[in-house]
Amino acid sequence: MAVQPIPLVPADKPANVAETPAPQPSRPRMSTRNRLIFFLTAWLVVLMPFMFWWSTWFGRALTDKEMREYLNDNSHPRHIQHAIVQLGQRMSRHDPSAARWYADLVRLASNPREEVRSTDAWVMGQDTAGPGFHEALLKMLEDPSLIVRGNAALSLVSFGDSSGRPQIVSLLQPVAITAPSAGRVMDTAGVGTAIHQGGLIAKLQDGQETRELRSPITGRVRTLSTATGASVVLGTAIATVEPGEEQVWEALRALYLIGQLEDLPSIRPYQRELPEVPERLRRQAVETERAIQERASR
């Protein structure tokens, strides 16, 4: 029978003694200074987004002192917007305390910032008894901003005033983006891109100057008429933006009350059963036409 070889054992280590693992070097401890820096950084990572959200969230209730300060904070337009939105919420609850700032709402109708005027026009429709509201809204129908004109027209409907009907109809229609000067088109948005009001549609290189073409409404890029790199002249069509769902919804609801037969060509595209037309818009468009037809028959 074959003899199994016996494994050799080093002379200085007995065969019956288990091998002791070599000691592992201890991990260096983080210094107190580094620990403080680490925790401070982690805290800021959490705190900064929260502080940004807190400072820009219009739902945060303002005290009367903050309301007064925000309405007059011309260096921070979002503070003014925040105060206006808060006033609108008080007005919708029929809170009598809101009336003390009605004069500020009338004053802000001529604020140089478009976003302030737009919010202001919307909120003034919350109280048809507000002194000066009706007159201010009528003036805003001539505002250079499409959205300000539209919001003023929508608010006037609450007053039983259909003076802004043409502006409301325009809210249903795509907006054309044209070249403000000659130049070369650069960095265009893609067809179908969802875009916010003020969102970038394209850049136009005009010599040494770069102009940014931005959307006046929230919506979606429907068409692009020029390719990136193309040279264009003043007034050339660059793109069209179709209005967003909320804008169309409010316009259809207003036309349900004041629409006329000549408005139907702008309403009927939203009656189609298409993927890009939400069902609630389709139903509202059908109801709006029915109401217009009934008024015309009477």
pLDDT tens for each residue of 80-114? 999 999 999 999 999 999 999 999 999 999 999 99
User: Can you say whether residue 59 is alpha, beta or left, with left for phi > 0 and alpha for psi between -120 and 50 degrees?
Assistant: alpha
In three-state secondary structure terms, 28 is coil
**Helical segments of 109-174, H only:** 114-123, 133-140, 146-158, 165-170
User: Could you say which DSSP state residue 185 is in?
Assistant: E
**Tokens representing residue 170 in the block:** 């325009």
Q: Lowest-pLDDT range, 3-7, 112-116, 153-157?
A: 3-7
* Amino acid at the residue 298: R
What does the pLDDT read at residue 61? 78
Burial of 111 (0-12, 13-18, 19+ CB in 10 A): middle
Q: How confident is the model at residue 276 (pLDDT cuts 50, 70, 90)?
A: confident
Handedness of CA 198, 199, 202, 207 (dihedral sign): positive
- Quick check: 148 and 114 in contact, CB under 8 A? yes
What does the pLDDT read at residue 11? 45
> Does the pLDDT at position 57 exceed 90?
no
- Quick check: 70 and 78 in contact, CB under 8 A? no
**Tokens representing residue 132 in the block:** 């000066």
Nearest to 183 by CA among 199, 207, 147: 207
DSSP code string of 241-298: EEEPHHHHHHHHHHHHHH--GGGHHHHGGGGS--TTS-HHHHHHHHHHHHHHHHHHH-
179-206: pLDDT as tens digits: 999 999 988 888 999 999 999 999 999 8
Burial of 90 (0-12, 13-18, 19+ CB in 10 A): buried
Burial of 292 (0-12, 13-18, 19+ CB in 10 A): buried
Report the alpha-carbon distance of residue 36 to residue 57 in Å, rounded: 31
